[in-house]
Structure 1
């Protein structure tokens, strides 16, 4: 059995851009959907031989809104992945969808094509909050889509929620969480709203619109962690919660630093020791693939030792966290300075050590960017301290003039 690999397919189409969205997605481009599928198929065929000896155990179809591409096109793309790659029989195959486009025909086609996990963009149970950010659906369409997914025999359902929306209060957020729980999903993703530069929401805030502040978002987040744990959805990553056995296997690849290959404009890959991405331009991607042009936007070779910083950044997003001897064994780096800092975090209630593993607490997750940044600074200093003497001993420094 080969090494494990994830595959990501980016579908950059949507019916309309939400005010907060900065993902690479394009409304009103239906006319190029078939040409895009042709390019994506060609790219999959071209790249698959590079993964010979690897077994694909997760496939994720994201966007954009993949469901607007239609079940027939998506089934064709998924069939191409299965023909070209060694896809495991028990692979987790996820497709994102929005409630208004997840109809019976689409869901049935997806299930027949092999999709066994659906990620549905619920976002809120309050129609006013959905309307405020120009979502196209209402909550009744969420309940209908969930019912249709269950009829299509999709047994692994994830719902996305956003806290910090315009006009949202703690009471309305609680209402959304309880409404989501009433639908009995296997997985929940709860994201804090971030105002991304250049989005319509950014313009609204610049003009004076007031959103729930950091303290309000923190209260929503901490309540959510506790409430979902009570409901049988323990937290396993900063924004993700699942019933036991239903954690997103594909997303865990990202957080655990495992290899994956992405296809489509703006898609990222981490494979063969190299991280690379494709141009965030649909037309350039199509013409590049079909015409033999350049489609790589950025590419970087990541030496194994330098993966130590990624180990800290990514794994400290999860409740699995980091472990001393795992770190020493993988990267030949000294863990002691990090442990001293983690012990300081523990005294502040930001981190905890359990079964020899360190992970951040919910309060620590709230300030994780700062905490992880401090650990990376300590790691860099410790690495330099051990590297410089070795380089000097090897004669790799010129004498100072």
Structure 2
């Protein structure tokens, strides 16, 4: 069986920068698009010969706003990927879009090129909330965009929504959820608004902009879980809900520790036992590619103890969760300290066990950052104990020869 991996393509261009956005994206840089396209294609070509024996089973265009970048450029990138790499015939190929930059002809051309999934940035059905976030689309454009996507015969659609917005009430959030479900997407992502440092939203909050507090955000989240479940959307990750079989295969790679390659400034990769990223610097990226090699930052080898920590951190984000004997087989570590913490969480209705797998409840997902830290603390003692005994008897900490 061939090794599989995902490909992430970062498109750092936007028509307008949203007030809450902390992703690496740039507005007003359209003149750099052609130059960036050449650099990105060059970067991809440099990886083609290295990937013999690997099959790409997901491709994800994120940003930024890939749909604003233009379907012609996206098709050129995808065509090169299909020539350079072995791409599965069943690959999930996703493009992120904003409602204001969607039309059915461009969607149809993308579909014919292989795109079979669209992720649409809706955020809210309330025009005032959209304006407050500096979103440039309207609720009417959302409805039209979905109609265009369906007319283009793309049958895998995800909608992004945000809760905890300025002026958002339970009634307005329920209205957004009902309107989103009325569009019959296969997938929904619901994210709590975070005030990131050095964003326009952070400045507005410092001047007195009021946001729903933590308790109100929790109520909004739990209501979303309830309504989406009633609508047939199964929660499979903290923020993600899907019809059966329509989970995001690409994003699941991040949460289950599978390998992927990222291309573009700000893109991250996990491959060959390392995590690394490219700097969030468009000009630096362009110059580095022109000089023959993209510069890396945040290079982090993933040691066996780190793999064990990531297993807890990432898989406990998902409804599939973790399983004792899977953990023991992978890492050779004692599960008992973790089991004791999970049993304590279970007594507080924060975690539960299904088919021998532990996972958080919706109430537990609300506390997941704190609860995962407790699990990591329980784990650290077993890792230290294992290291002590290996050092005592002279065994290496990895599969490599000492």
2:252 aligns with 252
1:76 aligns with 76
After TM superposition, give the deviation of residue 48 of structure 1 in Å.
2.0
C-alpha distance in structure 2 between counterparts of 1:174 and 1:59, whole Å = 32
C-alpha distance in structure 2 between counterparts of 1:81 and 1:55, whole Å = 11
TM-score, normalised relative to structure 2: 0.97
Write the mapping of 1:224-373 to structure 2, written as runs, cut at 5 A: 224-373=224-373
1:99 aligns with 2:125: no
C-alpha distance in structure 1 between counterparts of 2:166 and 2:354, whole Å = 38
1:195 aligns with 195
C-alpha distance in structure 1 between counterparts of 2:390 and 2:117, whole Å = 50
**Conserved 8 A contact 1:323-1:357:** yes
- Bigger mean CA offset, 199-208 vs 312-321: 199-208
After TM superposition, give the deviation of residue 294 of structure 1 in Å.
4.6
After TM superposition, give the deviation of residue 49 of structure 1 in Å.
2.0
Write the mapping of 1:106-185 to structure 2, written as runs, cut at 5 A: 106-185=106-185
**Conserved 8 A contact 2:305-2:383:** no
After TM superposition, give the deviation of residue 305 of structure 1 in Å.
3.8
* Deviation string, structure 1 residues 232-262 (Cα, Å, up to 9, x no partner): 0010000000000100000000000000000
Q: Secondary structure of 2:173's partner?
A: helix
**Conserved 8 A contact 2:352-2:358:** yes
Counterparts in 2 of 1:269 and 1:395: CA distance versus 1, 3 Å = closer
C-alpha distance in structure 1 between counterparts of 2:121 and 2:312, whole Å = 30
Q: Secondary structure of 2:75's partner?
A: helix
**Conserved 8 A contact 1:71-1:105:** no
C-alpha distance in structure 1 between counterparts of 2:4 and 2:249, whole Å = 11
Q: Secondary structure of 1:217's partner?
A: helix
- Bigger mean CA offset, 304-313 vs 175-184: 304-313
After TM superposition, give the deviation of residue 395 of structure 1 in Å.
10
After TM superposition, give the deviation of residue 349 of structure 1 in Å.
0.5
C-alpha distance in structure 2 between counterparts of 1:198 and 1:359, whole Å = 35
Counterparts in 2 of 1:151 and 1:80: CA distance versus 1, 3 Å = same
TM-score, normalised relative to structure 1: 0.97
**Conserved 8 A contact 2:278-2:297:** yes
- Bigger mean CA offset, 234-243 vs 44-53: 44-53
C-alpha distance in structure 2 between counterparts of 1:10 and 1:245, whole Å = 26
After TM superposition, give the deviation of residue 304 of structure 1 in Å.
3.1
Counterparts in 2 of 1:114 and 1:294: CA distance versus 1, 3 Å = closer
1:52 aligns with 2:52: yes
**Conserved 8 A contact 1:315-1:321:** yes
C-alpha distance in structure 2 between counterparts of 1:266 and 1:292, whole Å = 18
Counterparts in 2 of 1:395 and 1:172: CA distance versus 1, 3 Å = closer
Counterparts in 2 of 1:395 and 1:243: CA distance versus 1, 3 Å = closer
C-alpha distance in structure 1 between counterparts of 2:335 and 2:41, whole Å = 45
C-alpha distance in structure 1 between counterparts of 2:326 and 2:395, whole Å = 31
* Deviation string, structure 1 residues 49-69 (Cα, Å, up to 9, x no partner): 222101000000000000111
* Deviation string, structure 1 residues 319-358 (Cα, Å, up to 9, x no partner): 0000000000001111000000000000000000111000
After TM superposition, give the deviation of residue 298 of structure 1 in Å.
2.0
**Conserved 8 A contact 2:7-2:56:** yes
1:389 aligns with 389
How many residues align? The count is 396
**Conserved 8 A contact 1:67-1:106:** no
Q: Secondary structure of 2:168's partner?
A: coil
Write the mapping of 1:22-61 to structure 2, written as runs, cut at 5 A: 22-61=22-61
C-alpha distance in structure 2 between counterparts of 1:220 and 1:68, whole Å = 31
C-alpha distance in structure 2 between counterparts of 1:330 and 1:390, whole Å = 17
2:204 aligns with 204
C-alpha distance in structure 1 between counterparts of 2:290 and 2:175, whole Å = 48
**Conserved 8 A contact 2:270-2:276:** yes
**Conserved 8 A contact 2:105-2:152:** no
After TM superposition, give the deviation of residue 109 of structure 1 in Å.
2.0
Structure 2: stretches of 5+ with no match in the other structure: 397-402
1:399 aligns with none
C-alpha distance in structure 1 between counterparts of 2:89 and 2:293, whole Å = 35
